[in-house]
């Protein structure tokens, strides 16, 4: 993460190592994390905690129960070991019910448990995790959860702790393939942490040209082919949507193309990310309460950048192209107006009825340009509508597509990666509401209901026939306005980055 820190001078992600010891009792660390399950007759120590109860004189379950521990997911109990273990502090994290006999542990449960424990140990030097890790997948889940739980964004703090929350993380596992799984987790954590950094960075320090600079530097260092179009090139190239959204700001727009190619790849994926570095709503100004967290409106472009870097870092046998559609949506004398009409990159004209429905305007240019790469699949990702939050809440993204199988594939991949997503329809009867009396299509449906669906239907109009396309609306999941939970911090979450990488891994296996 040295390169990212040099660019943003902000966040910290702890590296993790693997130790194949099966003796957690004598492992040298400042804190030892173990799991406990709920059981019909009280707490049950999870695999990885073998020998601890004996070392503690048979009092582990009794002590935890006396502290009120139930083994519920996310529950944390800290016990001083008084020299009975090499680690001076034992941390028990709840895992819920034990899996059925012969069944493995749920990966997301392990990720969340590891993240919760590490967050609770902020300020601790060396943390060892003896959570269930009988397989490489388990070890990778523990490592990823711990790394993401160790994230902190401190760039703008002038007082208090300025270093990593935890100095060192060690996953205890003797599983075959665990080392590779831990290395994959490290690569993913670096990319997710970068996306969190970008989302957390205020617009005073992250405008379109600055975002493009970061993407160009990191992409080049990762071996990606990078192309950046400035405002002049965008106008000359006919990118009417990106130009229209960005024309009201003193910070002009950018389009960044990142490409990863593998000589043995048989599939090309194109990812398109909404990158509104700040969304005031333009002349259709947002209320203050809806504006103060709009630095997160570039989360889609961040996820695409993070995914491309991870795909390159993992060396996946797939071709991947990413488009970052970057603009700042501001009101001014040069801003686009409600009732303006522009010509998009596809050649279709668009009437702008609401300048706060701007994300779809930059995406249509990115989608149309991505189609020229002749990909097998296009996936766009965006913090697109408040309607997504109304329909699905803060933690579940909506997935829409012109292909039912692709939609299911995206939802399944998100579930595998521990990211909430739900399939949503594209009802044909909603299309008529986007008709315009003066242009090919309007950017807003007059009905306020079903806004997430009509936004996706608008995007679908710019996908060429025969191209498989999916749209992920993650307006809520991209930014956690509540308290930290599991491995998720307050603020930028890095949502959907892992889903995009997971899709690439799926296609790389074909």
Chain centroid, CA 188 distance in Å:
10
3-class DSSP state for residue 370?
A: helix
For residues 355 and 328, is the Cβ–Cβ distance under 8 A? no
- In 337-490, the DSSP E strands lie at 341-343, 349-351, 377-382, 397-401, 421-423, 441-442, 468-473, 479-480
For residues 113 and 74, is the Cβ–Cβ distance under 8 A? yes
Helix H or strand E segment including 147:
helix 136-149
In angstroms, the first-to-last Cα distance of the chain is 31
For residues 502 and 128, is the Cβ–Cβ distance under 8 A? no
Using only the alpha carbons of the chain, give its radius of gyration: 24
Per-residue H/E/C for 191-228:
HHHHHHHHHHCCCCCCCHHHHHHHHHHHHHHCCCEEEE
Return the closest-CA partner of residue 173 out of 147, 136, 148.
136
Tell me which residue has tokens 């449906």.
445
3-class DSSP state for residue 113?
A: helix
For 18, 112, 121, 423, the CA distances from 177, given in Å and listed in that order, are 11, 22, 28, 33
CA distance 89 to 28: 11
For residues 276 and 291, is the Cβ–Cβ distance under 8 A? no
CA distance 58 to 198: 48
Q: Which two tokens stand for residue 149?
A: 């739980």
> Active-site residues: which are they?
286, 360
Quick one: 474 exposed, middle or buried, by C-beta within 10 A (0-12, 13-18, 19+)?
Answer: buried
Q: Which two tokens stand for residue 224?
A: 């990606």
For residues 107 and 418, is the Cβ–Cβ distance under 8 A? yes
Rounded to the nearest 10°, the torsion over CA 17, 19, 23, 25 is -20
Chain centroid, CA 500 distance in Å:
9
CA distance 117 to 284: 44
């Amino acid at each position: 993460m040295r390169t990212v820190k040099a660019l943003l001078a902000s966040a910290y992600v702890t590296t993790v190592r693997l130790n194949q010891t099966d003796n957690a009792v004598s492992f040298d660390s400042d804190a030892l994390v173990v799991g406990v399950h709920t059981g019909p007759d009280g707490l049950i120590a999870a695999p990885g905690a073998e020998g601890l109860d004996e070392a503690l004189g048979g009092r582990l379950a009794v002590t935890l129960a006396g502290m009120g521990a139930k083994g519920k997911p996310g529950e944390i109990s800290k016990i001083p070991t008084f020299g009975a273990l090499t680690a001076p502090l034992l941390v028990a994290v709840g895992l819920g019910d034990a899996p059925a006999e012969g069944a493995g542990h749920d990966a997301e449960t392990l990720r969340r448990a590891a993240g919760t424990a590490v967050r609770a140990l902020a300020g601790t030097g060396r943390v060892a995790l003896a959570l269930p890790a009988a397989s490489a997948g388990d070890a990778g889940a523990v490592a990823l959860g711990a790394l993401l739980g160790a994230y902190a964004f401190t760039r703008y703090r002038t007082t208090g702790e300025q270093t990593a929350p935890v100095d060192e993380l060690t996953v205890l596992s003797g599983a075959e393939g665990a080392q590779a799984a831990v290395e994959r987790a490290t690569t993913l954590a670096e990319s997710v942490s970068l996306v969190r950094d970008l989302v957390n960075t205020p617009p005073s320090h992250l405008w379109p040209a600055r975002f493009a600079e970061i993407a160009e530097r990191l992409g080049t260092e990762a071996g990606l082919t990078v192309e950046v179009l400035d405002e002049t090139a965008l106008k000359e190239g006919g990118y009417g949507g990106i130009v229209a959204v960005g024309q009201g700001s003193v910070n002009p727009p950018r389009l960044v193309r990142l490409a990863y190619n593998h000589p043995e790849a048989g599939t090309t994926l194109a990812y398109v990310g909404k990158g509104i570095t700040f969304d005031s709503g333009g002349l259709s100004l947002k209320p203050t309460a809806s504006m103060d967290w709009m630095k997160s409106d570039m989360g889609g472009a961040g996820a695409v950048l993070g995914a491309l870097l991870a795909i390159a870092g993992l060396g996946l046998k797939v071709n991947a192209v990413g488009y970052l559609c970057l603009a700042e949506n501001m009101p001014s004398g040069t801003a686009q107006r409600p009732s303006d009409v522009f010509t998009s990159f596809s050649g279709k004209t668009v009437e702008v009825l609401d300048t706060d429905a701007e994300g779809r305007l930059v995406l249509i240019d990115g989608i149309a340009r991505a189609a020229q790469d002749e990909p097998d699949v296009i996936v766009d990702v965006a913090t697109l509508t408040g309607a997504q939050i109304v329909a699905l809440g803060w933690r579940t993204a909506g997935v829409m597509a012109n292909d039912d199988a692709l939609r299911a594939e995206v939802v399944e991949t998100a579930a595998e990666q521990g990211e909430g997503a739900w399939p949503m329809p594209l009802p044909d009867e909603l299309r008529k509401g986007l008709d315009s009396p003066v242009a090919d299509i309007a950017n807003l449906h007059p009905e306020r209901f079903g806004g997430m669906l009509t936004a996706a239907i608008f995007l679908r109009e710019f996908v060429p026939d025969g191209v498989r396309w999916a749209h992920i609306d993650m307006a809520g999941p991209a930014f956690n306005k509540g308290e930290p939970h599991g491995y998720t911090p307050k603020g930028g979450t890095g949502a959907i980055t892992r889903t995009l990488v997971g899709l690439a891994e799926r296609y790389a296996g074909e």
